[in-house]
Every structure is written in C-alpha cells, then in structure tokens.
Amino acid sequence: MPSFEKELMFNEIVKEFEKSPYAFISNLNSVSVLDISTARRSLEKVSRRSLMVKHAMARKIFAQFNVAGAEKYLSGSVIITFGDKDPQDISRKLCEFSKTNEKWKPAGVIFEGQVYGEDFVKQLSKLPSRKELLTQLVVRMNSPLQGFANVLGALTRNLVVALEEVRKKKAAAGAAS
C-alpha cells in the first residue's frame, strides 16, 4: 500500500499531465540543489511546473497515459517540466541550462502523446516563439501594402509636379506675350 505522500504526489503529477499538452524530461546527475533551484526559477517564467519524479512513479504515470517509449529517458534524477504555452521557450531554457551545466541533460519530450528524444528538444529550441512568428508575419504582410501605398503616393506626387510644370509654362508663355 503506497504511503499518503506518494499517492498525493502521484495524483498531483497525473493532474499536471492531464492539463499539459507536453512534458519535458530532463536527467541530472550530481547537480547541486542551488543549480536545481536556479533552473526551476528560470523555468517557472516559461513553464507551468517542474517536478522531480522517481523512476517507479514516472513509469506508472507513463503506463496510465499510454506513453510508450518514455521509460528509456529515465536515468539518474529526473525532472519533468510541464507547460501549456510555447514549447520552444521551455526547450530553449533547458538547452541553455545544459550548456552551462554538463550534468543537466534534456532527455526528451512527450509532445501531443508522442515521445521524442534529445534531438527534437534541441531543434525545438531553435524555432522562433509564437510572438516572433506573428511579428514576422505582420512585417511580411505590411511590406506589399506599404509598397502599394508608395506607388499611389508617387502617382499623385507626379501628377502635382506635372501640373506645376504646366502652370509655370503657361505663366512664362503669358508673360512673354
């Protein structure tokens, strides 16, 4: 019979899996508590929650959610980071932290029911965020409109210049006669 604390922790992790469309799995070996705290503080800005999980509990949760293949990413101490916004931001933070601390390794991600490895996490970290993509879209949509406005402005500007030249010629012809 599992203890009350373990059952409570299990239920809490199950709730997070139900709420989150993705969960990042990170392995860490001999990482100091200070480094883990620093990573959690930086991750809480872009993720919903990060939890240290024991292997046996993680296996039970993976079995409950039919996530086959995620067990192979369980080695050493395991932190599962849950999120519901941009997964690129979380993967970027995890990869940045793994560069400064070689004992921290983003092992994989459970993304929309599928399990992907470390390479996917690294590729995901290189993608622009949703905000950056929307900015690029607006700039690209604005460019043709701005060009069209410039063409229309040039037509009216050229018409005004031509009319001014006609007026000057008529004024010069009127003064000469």
Token pair 């709420």 is found at 19
Q: Are 106 and 24 in contact (CB under 8 A)?
A: yes
Residue 17: the pLDDT is 86
Q: Are 20 and 61 in contact (CB under 8 A)?
A: no
Alpha-helical runs (H) found in 20-54: 33-43
Reported as a single tens digit per residue, the pLDDT across 103-154 is: 888 989 998 888 998 899 899 888 888 888 888 888 888 888 788 888 888 8
Q: Are 106 and 98 in contact (CB under 8 A)?
A: yes
Distance CA 124, CA 10 (A): 28
Q: What is the mean pLDDT of residues 4-22?
A: 88
For 27, list phi and psi in degrees, rounded to 5. Answer: -105, 140
Residue 24: the pLDDT is 93
What three-state secondary structure class fits 147? helix
Burial (0-12, 13-18, 19+ Cβ within 10 Å), 103: middle
Residue 177: the pLDDT is 66
The number of CA neighbours under 13 Å toward the Cβ of 146 is 6
Reported as a single tens digit per residue, the pLDDT across 48-64 is: 888 888 888 888 888 88
Sign of CA dihedral 60, 66, 67, 71: positive
What three-state secondary structure class fits 101? coil
Query: pLDDT at residue 36 above 90?
Result: no
For 58, list phi and psi in degrees, rounded to 5. Answer: -60, -40
Percent of the chain with pLDDT over 90: 4
Residue 152: the pLDDT is 83
Which residues are 152's β-sheet partners?
none
